[in-house]
Amino acid sequence: MAFERQQEHLPWGVETYNIADLGFIDTKVLGGWLDGNSLSDIMETYLEKVVGDNAFYYYGRQFPLMVKHMDFSSRQPLLVCPDDTVAAQRYDALGKAKFWYVISAREGAYVGIGLRKNMTASSFYYACEDRTVPDYVNRIPVRAGDCFHIAPGIVHYASEGVQLIEVAEASALDFVLCRPLGMPDDELGTADALDFVNLSKSEYSPLEKRDDYKLLSTPEMTVSLIPLGTAVKVNAGDSDSFYIYTCAKGEASLLGGGEMVVVREGESVLVPADCTEFVIEPRREGTVMIEAAPTRREEKDGYIDI
């Protein structure tokens, strides 16, 4: 299933939601027999046929992942996200783990991830208040193809001149800790987030590419980066899971369940759990696809409404 993308213009750039059900963003199917239905409509009607029995048992009617394209015209505010436990207890929502894939980066562009020194809660709070906190964040130069995992509790931002794909848990819980000078000085979420920010020193670098293409396997999601030289036939078998494919580079077509969808650079397509066999075919040389799926859960999330 392809979806109509939804844009949100922000002071630091444009965020384009490829696939998401966040309430204020609810992407709609583009083409096919479900054309015009929103993701929440589909979940309401088809439930486990879309996400699989395990994801439905754990997440209920909440579609668990989201994908968006982000284009930064100026530096992003410093953000942090809670984990599932904190988010469930305080907000009856999912937490937010993230995967970033850099599509392009101007010379000198960078991302900031994690603290480069240990800090106390009070020193961190006041550094957010006087806007010096970015000085204490690891600054990592980036280029096209770099990938990063941003765990809950880790502070992060991207600089001007970066375009990236974000795969994350379906949550709107991005707490703004510090805004760059010149941006609207709205209320910050520093006080609310202070007890779950990771204040320990950490080192960050791009994820290493692996021969099996898998880049990330966490309790929230698995992510693989697949270079397409020729057509690939996927037999999902009894995986009992949906898959989201996002074109990181080039262009591809997906054929399954009697339907063909073309995916261009930066776009995403959802393969529902009941489509167990499909083919991914490159339409341009050098095509690269990001494959994302929820990690199998063994317990039910009692905080997420069913």
Residue 220 belongs to a domain with what CATH number?
2.60.120.10
Burial of 38 (0-12, 13-18, 19+ CB in 10 A): middle
202 found inside a domain: no
**The two structure tokens encoding residue 305:** 């409404």
Q: pLDDT 10s digit of each residue in the chain, 306 long?
A: 899 999 999 999 999 999 999 999 999 999 888 899 999 999 988 878 899 888 888 888 899 999 999 999 999 999 999 999 999 999 999 999 999 999 999 999 999 999 999 999 999 999 999 999 999 999 999 999 999 999 999 999 999 999 999 999 999 999 999 988 766 666 678 999 999 999 999 999 999 988 779 999 999 999 999 999 999 999 887 788 999 999 999 999 999 878 899 999 999 999 999 988 999 999 999 999 999 999 987 765 544 444
Burial of 305 (0-12, 13-18, 19+ CB in 10 A): exposed
**The two structure tokens encoding residue 171:** 């949550």
Number of domains, the chain: 2
Range of the domain at 260: 214-294
* Residue closest to 198 by CA, chosen among 92, 128, 124, 98: 124
110 in the same domain as 7: yes
50 in the same domain as 188: yes
33 in the same domain as 112: yes
289 in the same domain as 179: no
123 in the same domain as 24: yes
Q: What is the DSSP string of 255-279?
A: EETTEEEEEETT-EEEE-TT--EEE
Question: What pLDDT was estimated at residue 187?
Answer: 66
132 in the same domain as 64: yes
185 in the same domain as 235: no
SS3 category, 218: coil
Burial of 177 (0-12, 13-18, 19+ CB in 10 A): buried
305 found inside a domain: no
Question: What pLDDT was estimated at residue 245?
Answer: 96
Question: What pLDDT was estimated at residue 48?
Answer: 80
Question: What pLDDT was estimated at residue 303?
Answer: 44
77 found inside a domain: yes
199 found inside a domain: no
Domain boundary among 131, 164, 193: 193
159 in the same domain as 10: yes
118 found inside a domain: yes
165 found inside a domain: yes
180 in the same domain as 78: yes
SS3 category, 252: strand
Tally Cβ neighbours within 10 Å of residue 92. Answer: 10
**The two structure tokens encoding residue 192:** 């609310």
In order of 81, 192, 234, the CA distances from 143 in angstroms are: 25, 34, 30
228 in the same domain as 84: no
* Residue closest to 271 by CA, chosen among 250, 252, 286: 252
175 in the same domain as 286: no
124 found inside a domain: yes
Tally Cβ neighbours within 10 Å of residue 90. Answer: 13
CA distance 153 to 110: 20
